[in-house]
C-alpha cells in the first residue's frame, strides 16, 4: 500500500508542477502578449513599423514577441468573406512580407494566397448567381400563380426563400472549406520560412 501511495503522491506532484508556470514561461507569455498587442495596433492602422518596433525590444524578448506577431498576423489572413475585413487582411499580408524581409519565397506564397482570394470571390459570386437563377426558374410558376390570385404584379426574391438560404449555406460552407484548407497550407509554409 505504501508503494501505491508513493506513486500517487508522485503523480500528484507532477500534476501540480504542470499547473504552475515557471518564471521563464510567464515571461514568454508576457512577450507573446506584447507581440499580439503590437500587431493589433499595426492592424488597426496605427502608424508603426513592426520590424522597427521589434528591434526596439530587448534581445531576449524578440523571439517571443516575433512569435506573437507572426501568429496574430497569420490569424488575420483569412478568406475575404466580407469586404469590411479586406483592408485588415491586406495589412496582415503586408506585415508578414515585411517580417519575412520580403524574400522571394514569402512573395511567392503571398501571390498564391492573393490568387486564391481572387478565385474564392469569383467562385462565390458565380455559384450564388447560378443558384439564384435556378431558384428563379423554380419560382417562376409560383410567381405566376400568385399574380393570378392577387390580380396584381408580385415579386418573389429567391434569395429570401428558406430553401435558397439553406442550400446556399451548405454550398458556401463547402467552398469555404476547400479554400480554407489551401489557405492553412500556405500559412503553414509562411511559418516555416
Task: Give the number of domains in the chain.
Answer: 2
Residue 2 lies in a domain: no
Based on the fold, state whether residues 72 and 94 are members of the same structural domain.
no
Based on the fold, state whether residues 151 and 93 are members of the same structural domain.
yes
Three cell numbers, residue 50: 513592426
Three cell numbers, residue 99: 517580417
Based on the fold, state whether residues 90 and 127 are members of the same structural domain.
yes
Based on the fold, state whether residues 13 and 36 are members of the same structural domain.
yes
Residue 183 lies in a domain: yes
Distance in angstroms (rounded) separating the CA atoms of residues 114 and 112: 5
Based on the fold, state whether residues 69 and 48 are members of the same structural domain.
yes
CB-CB neighbours of 188 under 10 Å: 11
Q: Are 175 and 123 in contact (CB under 8 A)?
A: yes
Residue 22 lies in a domain: yes
Please say which residue of 76, 94, 120 terminates a domain.
Answer: 76
Based on the fold, state whether residues 69 and 87 are members of the same structural domain.
no
DSSP string, 57-100: S-TTTHHHHHHHHHHHHHHT-----SGGGHHHHHHHHHHHHHHT
With a threshold of 0.85, does the pTM exceed it?
Answer: no
The parent domain of residue 31 ranges over 9-76
Based on the fold, state whether residues 125 and 34 are members of the same structural domain.
no
Phi/psi at 82 (5° precision): -140, 135
Please say which residue of 37, 55, 76 terminates a domain.
Answer: 76
Based on the fold, state whether residues 15 and 103 are members of the same structural domain.
no
Based on the fold, state whether residues 32 and 124 are members of the same structural domain.
no
pLDDT in tens, 51-99: 999 999 999 999 999 999 999 999 999 999 999 999 999 999 999 999 9
Please say which residue of 76, 102, 133 terminates a domain.
Answer: 76
Q: Give the pLDDT score at 165.
A: 96
Say which residue the cell 503553414 belongs to.
188
Q: Are 65 and 54 in contact (CB under 8 A)?
A: yes
- Residues in the chain with pLDDT < 50? 1-2
Q: Give the pLDDT score at 24.
A: 87
Based on the fold, state whether residues 59 and 91 are members of the same structural domain.
no
Q: Are 139 and 150 in contact (CB under 8 A)?
A: no
Q: Are 180 and 79 in contact (CB under 8 A)?
A: yes
Amino acid at each position: 500500500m505504501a508503494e501505491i501511495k508513493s506513486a500517487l503522491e508522485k503523480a500528484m506532484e507532477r500534476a501540480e508542477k504542470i499547473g504552475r508556470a515557471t518564471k521563464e514561461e510567464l515571461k514568454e507569455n508576457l512577450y507573446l502578449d506584447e507581440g499580439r498587442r503590437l500587431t493589433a495596433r499595426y492592424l488597426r492602422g496605427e502608424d508603426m513599423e513592426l520590424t522597427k518596433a521589434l528591434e526596439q525590444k530587448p534581445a531576449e524578448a524578440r523571439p517571443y514577441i516575433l512569435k506573437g506577431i507572426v501568429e496574430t498576423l497569420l490569424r488575420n489572413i483569412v478568406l475575404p468573406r466580407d469586404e469590411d475585413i479586406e483592408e485588415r487582411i491586406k495589412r496582415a499580408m503586408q506585415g508578414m512580407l515585411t517580417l519575412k524581409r520580403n524574400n522571394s519565397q514569402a512573395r511567392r506564397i503571398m501571390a498564391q494566397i492573393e490568387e486564391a482570394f481572387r478565385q474564392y470571390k469569383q467562385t462565390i459570386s458565380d455559384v450564388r448567381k447560378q443558384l439564384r437563377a435556378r431558384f428563379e426558374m423554380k419560382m417562376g410558376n409560383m410567381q405566376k400563380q400568385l399574380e393570378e390570385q392577387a390580380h396584381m404584379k408580385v415579386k418573389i426574391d429567391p434569395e429570401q426563400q428558406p430553401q435558397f438560404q439553406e442550400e446556399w449555406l451548405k454550398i458556401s460552407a463547402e467552398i469555404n472549406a476547400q479554400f480554407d484548407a489551401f489557405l492553412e497550407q500556405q500559412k503553414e509554409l509562411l511559418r516555416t520560412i
